[in-house]
Amino acid sequence: MFLQSKNRNRFFISGAWVSPQGQQQYHNVINPADGQVSGSVSFGSAADVDLAIQAAFDAFPEYSTTTVEFRIALLERICAVYERRSDELAEAITIEMGAPFHQLSRPLQASVGLWHFQAALAALKDFSFETQRGSTLITKEPIGVCSLITPWNWPMNQTVCKVAPALAVGCTMVLKPSQNAPYSALILAEIMEEAGVPAGVFNLVNGEGRKLGQQLASHPLVDMVSLTGSTQAGASLTIAGADTVKRMSLELGGKSANIILPDADLEQAVRHGVLHMMSNSGQSCTAPSRMLVPHALLEKVEEIITTVCSEIKVGDPMDPETTMGPMANERQYNLVRELIQVGIDEGAKLLVGGIENPVKDNAGFYISPTVFTQVDNTMRIAREEIFGPVLVVIGYDSEEEAISIANDSIYGLSGYVHSSSPARAKAVAKRMRTGMVHLCGAPIDINAPFGGYKQSGNGREWGASGLDEFLETKSIMGAL
């Protein structure tokens, strides 16, 4: 079992597991299912980050010139090792952030990392690094050393959609995973080692984000920063990287609108919206957290929501029957409960849920599926990213008003439209100011560009777009 691994208190730098520089600093990892310490990891210092960045810098000249065939073979080996250790990754994810093992960690949280490696591999096989336009040769070249900073809510998804394309195009990197979800990232480093990733190409240092993030963003040997996190973190790291004019690829917050049009199958649309919102305990940046419904249908919508929420089983994430686990950590648990109280104080109708822990006599960080109706889009609960199992329902009178409410947000990551007419749904989607829109319950497309408008970030991840993000463009004129 990984929790007994000696690598928990070491970092992976220059192809080897090394102890922290200087005095050892331990960080307890809390199991959100019971609030107890599951183990500890070592935290790195500025010296550890310097060592990792130098290793990536030293490895870049050779790795950046490897052939496509070499990198294809490398990704194939990584996929094989990853698949073999997938169940172990799923268990680590459940222990570190509370996703239900049987319902979410194994089938999706761990599996999506493999899918991203496979998508990057497929994109690499078809990718053109050179294009001739007249007498000019246009080449795509790896950008250089990359700092990758990842969150706790989808540990492998958010990590591998950076690591895989960076490896595919010839970049070297330093990964700093969330301090709250370090176990799965350490297993990933072991996968890199076993698959034979060249020394210095992939490096990992654990540590506190507020301390190490600034260094990873400002270091003169780093060429690019890829962050998934809060909008505030994205702004802070952009400032830190400004003096050296780094490329910043930012996947940040969201407050996605789910427009249910009057002609939609109401039962199907509302059920899908509620279950999608509550998946992963609402801790997804693309969660459909604002449900927009016609005023005339609100009473029926409330009935459906009440029924669906009663079917969600909150509890121990290792229980096969559990469909919603705890919040990932105590800080997020407290923030979500505070915002639920804000919604009550603002005068919204609390339809279901609330601030009470639904798992009695348990120190875990559990929150019931919570839904507010009679919400105005000016309320805090309609404007702020709650990042928990809290859905707000907003009424509208016309399609124009629905689109206007959907776009009235500082965020623009994802959106959802339900209609019995695909053409109508698509027309509404085109008017939404978001980087992605799901029509009539469409699932994610692992090969489609992932990213947002406005304060939801910049840049795109996933598939071929993910490869492009880690490349520079060079024009060689007169290259006949």
Give the residue numbers marked as catalytic.
251
* Nearest residue to 274 via CA among 321, 337, 323: 323
Half-sphere exposure at residue 239, Cβ-oriented, CA atoms within 13 angstroms: 5
Collapsed DSSP state (helix, strand, coil) of residue 146? strand
Neighbours of 306 (CB within 10 A): 13
Please give the C-alpha separations between residue 371 and each of 258, 376, 383, 390, in angstroms, as whole numbers.
14, 14, 15, 6
DSSP assignment of 217-279 equals: HH-TT--EEEEES-HHHHHHHHHHHHTTT-EEEEE-----EEEE-TTS-HHHHHHHHHHHHHG
> What span, in angstroms and rounded, lies between the C-alpha atoms of 399 and 262?
9
The set of residues, in sequence order, having a beta carbon less than 8 Å from that of 315 and lying 6+ positions away, is: 321, 322, 324, 325, 359, 366
CB-neighbour burial class of residue 345 (10 A; exposed 0-12, middle 13-18, buried 19+): exposed
Q: For residue 468, give the amino acid letter.
A: D
User: Which residue in this structure is represented by tokens 């990287």?
Assistant: 241
Measured in degrees and rounded to the nearest 5, phi and psi for residue 268 equal -65, -45
Longest dimension (CA), the chain: 75
Measured in degrees and rounded to the nearest 5, phi and psi for residue 154 equal -135, 75
> What span, in angstroms and rounded, lies between the C-alpha atoms of 212 and 311?
42
> What span, in angstroms and rounded, lies between the C-alpha atoms of 411 and 199?
39
Please give the C-alpha separations between residue 108 and each of 81, 86, 89, 92, in angstroms, as whole numbers.
17, 10, 11, 13
User: Which residue in this structure is represented by tokens 């009679």?
Assistant: 374
